[in-house]
Structure 1
Amino acid sequence: MACLNADLIAKSVNRLRKKRGLSYAEFLRTLTHLHFSNKNIEDIGDISMCRNLTVLYLYDNHITQICNLGFASNLTHLYMQNNNITRVENLSNLQMLSKLYLGGNRITVVEGLEQLSELQELHLENQRLAPGETLLFDPRTLLSLAELEGVFGLWPQLLHMDLRGNPACKTPKYRDRLITACKSLEVLDGREINELTRQFLINWKASKEAKMKRNNTGALIPYPLTNDLNRVQGLTSTAVQRRKKPQPSFHTDLG
């Protein structure tokens, strides 16, 4: 097993450093990308000399803890999927982080991301959990999917989220709730979110909540699942005919 530190980095880039005629310290300060995937790395040591680091590849290793990255204020991409990480921690200083890959680890609680206002992609698919364990969003503030609005409010730039292979995906109306809770989300679990479907769900939910309030019954009236696309499209078409007004078309092009 190896430890990611300044010495290991220096050895890996020695030839390029000599070509540029720089000292180790000078060269490490110029690095913006570090590629150390599948290198049998178990720990992250002191790599603070790489002060201009923006992209760090550490996937397919044996890392158990996210640590010693507090210096990396310019880091935008962190790839740590397929390790042995059990906690999401020590990321609060990464103010520029936009893409975080933590799939294939052993994480049970999603926490410690409150300061990441620039986060656009969060990947947590296929956590390798013990029987009976489930993936939760910070239980101190989040008790169920019905309260996800508060969590998504912390990540206004979030465009992609992947939770495939986790027990949360089996929660009734899981996809519907996430689509209506996060207005900026464009791709959920590898599937694009159709804006017409999103608007229909938002309107349906608002209509039912208003009706419930008027009737003061307190009964919750469910809204349809987005995986039943034919039903959603049929209801939308019927609503259009009743109003006799043309509806705006939506085009999603994620490139």
Structure 2
Amino acid sequence: MVRLTIDLIAKSRNHFKKKRGLSFPEYLKTLTHLHFSSKNIEDIGDLSMCRNLTVLYLYDNQITHICNLGFASNLTHLYMQNNNITHIDNLSNLQKLSKLYLGGNRIAVVEGLEQLGELKELHLENQRLAPGEKLLFDPRTLVSVAESLCVLNINNNNIDDIRDMAVLKELQHFSAADNKLNNMEELEDVFSHWPQLLDMNLSGNPVCKRTKYRDCLITVCKSLEVLDGREINELTRQFLINWKASKEAKKKINKKHMLPRPLIPYHITNDFNTSLSPHSGHIYDPANMQRWKAQHSLRARTLQMPTSGRLGHVPVPAAICSGVDA
């Protein structure tokens, strides 16, 4: 097993030979960059003498755990992509860490970043997950980096939901290509919380096949300059924004016209000289309704009676003349 230790650094021609004239302990104190990529390293030993270390390159190795880095309080860049790491831990002392590269590992849950308040870039693409597994995010970690994170790369991780990421309001570059994002409404809601977003890549997701996919995202992400590798023309954006506003205004007008009209009260009249049917102007009363029905029936019978004496003379019952029910 290859282990990264002080002795391994001493044997490296790429390091100590560049600092001739210094003792080895003095050299370790001045060391700011440590390059040990592609060395079949499986473990990190005691490197506490490298107290001024700021950049550590350990990509393309066989490391399974992040450990023994608590001494590196000045570390700003950590490159550990393409290893065999399964958990993100032991990073709480790296409070100056700005860029963290962990792509190509075996991480299933993104966690353990609660103390990294200066983290600006997080790269987690291409995790080698078990079949059916997807990359998940601990909400506490998302909240802890929400004020600082500007770059997030989660390509190819079977992700189908990013609603919890809405808190990352400082994001400027977001890459989630080759995942399983499919809900346009959810994406629009999340992206509306990212006012700083400049560059986004969602290519290879099912949502890209939706009608007006590109147009919708351009209108939601008003600061976006590049979408799926294609630049956004400002004239095109303004046209789409105006078109969307016009469409929404028409919807409001149509909705207003489709509102149900108020019902007209059904009033009853006992004025028999003007009409045989109810009309407005009279207050409904059950007694009036009965009176109207009786008068309507009586008049109908009277009009059918035979004439007597002179032509066209129709006798009118006294009940109608007196205004009382027959």
Say yes or no: TM over 0.5: yes
* Map of 2:171 onto structure 1: 185
Aligned mates of 1:226, 1:22 — CA distance in 2: 66
Match of 2:242 in 1: 237
- The equivalent residue for 1:26 is 26
CA distance in 1, matches of 2:7, 2:74: 22
Gaps of 5+ in 1: 143-149, 192-196, 204-224, 245-255
Shift of 1:134: 2.2
- Counterpart-to-counterpart distance in 2, 1:231 and 1:44: 47
| Deviation readout 1:87-144 (Å, 9 max, x if unpaired) | 1000000010010000000011111100000000011111001213221123xxx4xx
Cα deviation 1:211-247 (Å, max 9, x = unaligned)? xxxxxxxxxxxxxx99812235476223555899xxx
Query: In 2, are the aligned partners of 1:179 and 1:198 still within 8 Å (CA)?
Result: no
CA contact (8 A) 2:55 2:75 kept: yes
Over the matched positions of the two proteins, sequence identity in percent amounts to 58
Question: Aligned-pair distance for 1:190?
Answer: 7.0
The secondary structure found in structure 2 opposite 1:153 is: helix
> 2:91·2:113 contact (CA, 8 Å) conserved in 1?
yes
Q: Distance in 2 between matches of 1:126 and 1:46?
A: 30
SS at match of 1:3: strand
Equivalent of residue 15 in structure 1, options 14, 17, 21:
17
Q: 1:231 to 1:37 in 2, by over 3 A?
A: same
1:227 and 1:47 mapped to 2: Cα distance? Answer: 54
Counterpart of 1:162 in structure 2 is: 153
Shift of 1:179: 7.1
Q: State the SS of the aligned residue for 2:127.
A: coil
Counterpart AA for 2:152: M
Structure 1 stretch 150-159 or stretch 126-135: which is displaced more? 150-159
Separation in structure 2 between the aligned mates of residue 110 and residue 198 of structure 1, nearest angstrom: 23
Which structure carries more relative contact order (alpha carbon 8 Å, separation 6+)? 1
Q: Distance in 2 between matches of 1:118 and 1:159?
A: 10
- Residues 133-152 of structure 1 mapped to structure 2, 5 A cutoff: 133-138=133-138, 142=139, 151-152=141-142
Give deviations 1:22-60, integer Å, cap 9, x for gaps: 111110110000000001111100011100000000000
Q: Name the CA distance, whole Å, in 2 between partners of 1:200 and 1:80.
A: 29
Match of 1:238, as an amino acid?
Answer: W
TM-score by length of 1: 0.70
> Aligned pairs, how many?
201
Alpha-carbon spacing, 1:52–1:226, altered in 2? closer, same or farther (3 Å): farther
Residues 10 and 28 in structure 1, CA contact (< 8 A), matched pair in contact too:
no
Query: Looking at CA atoms only, which structure, 1 or 2, has the larger radius of gyration?
Result: 2
Q: 1:7 to 1:95 in 2, by over 3 A?
A: same
- Structure-2-length-normalised TM-score: 0.56
1:103–1:126: 8 Å Cα contact kept in structure 2?
A: yes
**Paired residues of 2:125 and 2:153 also in contact (CA < 8 A):** yes
Q: Unpaired segments of 5 or more residues in structure 2?
A: 178-186, 194-209, 220-238, 250-326
User: Alignment RMSD, CA only?
Assistant: 2.9
Post-superposition offset of 1:70: 0.1
SS in 1 for 2:42: strand
